[in-house]
Amino acid sequence: MNRRTFLKASGAASLLAPVLIREAFAAKEQSLVAVAEGSDYPAITRKAINAVGGMKKFVKPGDVVVVKPNMGWDRTTEFAANTHPQVVRAVVEECLAAGAKKVKVFDNTCNDARRCYVNSGIENALKGMKNVECKHIETERFKKVAINGHFLKEWELYDEALSANVYINVPIAKHHGLSKLTLGLKNIMGIMGGSRGYIHRNIDVALADMNSHFKSHLTIIDATRILTAHGPQGGNIADVKVLNKVIASTDIVAADAFATTLFGLRPADIPVTVAAYKRGLGEMDLGKIKVVKA
């Protein structure tokens, strides 16, 4: 069984009996969210990863890994519109240390790709690293894939994400005008092509569709600084709050649910989180999530 058939099967299964599956998982393993705090961002990133089992648990020698940060906006690091370059670099280094053959870092940007890659600081942070690619999106690599979701029936997804052995989702926690917050579940849009604005018409269901079709093996939320208003691109330093936190979990919904609390909100306030929870993609009940300080 290769990865894609596994995903298809698990997607289909989750459609048929989401509640049962959730219960089954809950019985076996409690969702674990690791939170590391400190001003040394590479160090706290490593701590968070180690607290959920270490990168070797996810990346096997010879694997091709996609690390998907948020670098969609032409804003510099301090504006908290893109994932912190040091966090991205630390994740990439951990992947390489675990034996990854190749690590690919990209995003389907909203502003000019060149400016986003440069001004996010991510391209420069990865410069010169062996076996690491930080290339712009090439539109011909989007492949139409059957999603068979409630809202999205099929969509164009990026082939480098589809063919990777491991997909690590590295969003920044920030405010969003429509979905209130953008976290792990929404960061998946970076591998989507086509007219992404269409998704906005039913964003909660669309993102649940996407995340049940395409799973993140590990979600690492950059909350070193968060954007509290005028998201997703901000631009005003007054909207930025420095928290010096990095969150990691294999349960994307749990990671998002915990990150929501950093904004003074409850997971139930975020329709995207609720939709994903109802779909059985993870746990959003903070009482059932095991939060460990890393």
Partner 1 sequence: MKRTPARISQLFFLALFLILFTQTEYRGKDEINAAVNSFFRVNPLVLFSYLLAAKTWTWLLLPALLMTVATLVLGRFFCGWICPLGTVLDLVTVHIRKSAPIKALGGNTKYWLLLPLLAASLFNLNLSGLLDPIAILLRGLTFLLHPLLGLAAQESWVSLYHLIGERRDSIAPAYTLVHDTLLPFRDTIYPLALFSAAILLGVIALERFETRAWCRHLCPLGTLLGWLGSFSPFKRVPASLCADCGSCRELCPTSFTGNNLVKEECVLCMDCQRDCPHERITFRPGLALKGLGPVQPGRRVLLGGLAAGVLLAVPAKFRYPERVSRLLRPPGVRSEDEFLKRCVRCGECMKVCLKSALYPAAYQAGIEGFYTPLLIPRLGYCEYNCTLCGQVCPTGAIPALPKASKQREVIGKAVFDKNHCIPFARKTDCIVCEEHCPIPEKAIRSREVTVIGADGLTRTIKEPYLVEEICNGCGICENVCPLESKAGIEVFAVKNRTPISGEPASPYSS
- Note the residues at the interface with partner 1 (CB under 8 A): 74, 110-112, 114-115, 118-119, 135, 138, 140-141, 159, 163, 176-178, 195-198, 200-203, 230, 232-236, 239
Q: Which is nearer to partner 1, 206 or 276 (CB)?
A: 206
Question: What is the rounded CA–CA span in Å between residue 277 and residue 273?
Answer: 6
Report, in Å, the least distance between residue 178 CB and partner 1. 5
Report, in Å, the least distance between residue 94 CB and partner 1. 23
Report, in Å, the least distance between residue 259 CB and partner 1. 19
Task: Decide: 121 and 80 in contact? Cβ < 8 Å.
Answer: no
Question: What is the rounded CA–CA span in Å between residue 87 and residue 77?
Answer: 11
Q: Which is nearer to partner 1, 62 or 235 (CB)?
A: 235
Q: Which is nearer to partner 1, 118 or 129 (CB)?
A: 118
Report, in Å, the least distance between residue 196 CB and partner 1. 8
Give the angle subtended at the CA of 124 by the CAs of 139 and 62, to the nearest 5°.
70
Q: Which is nearer to partner 1, 50 or 202 (CB)?
A: 202
The kind and range of the H/E element at 47 are helix 41-51
Q: Which is nearer to partner 1, 29 or 112 (CB)?
A: 112
Report, in Å, the least distance between residue 50 CB and partner 1. 32
Q: Where are the beta strands (DSSP E) in 179-249?
A: 180-182, 218-227, 240-249
Dihedral angle at the C-alpha atoms of 227, 229, 232, 238, nearest 10 degrees? -50
Report, in Å, the least distance between residue 120 CB and partner 1. 12
Residues 6+ apart with CB under 8 A from 171: 69, 70, 83, 182, 183, 184, 186, 187, 219, 221, 222
Report, in Å, the least distance between residue 230 CB and partner 1. 6
Q: Which is nearer to partner 1, 239 or 283 (CB)?
A: 239
Among candidate residues 156, 141, 75, the one with its CA nearest the CA of residue 106 = 141
Task: Decide: 105 and 113 in contact? Cβ < 8 Å.
Answer: no
Q: Which is nearer to partner 1, 221 or 240 (CB)?
A: 240
The kind and range of the H/E element at 97 are helix 85-97
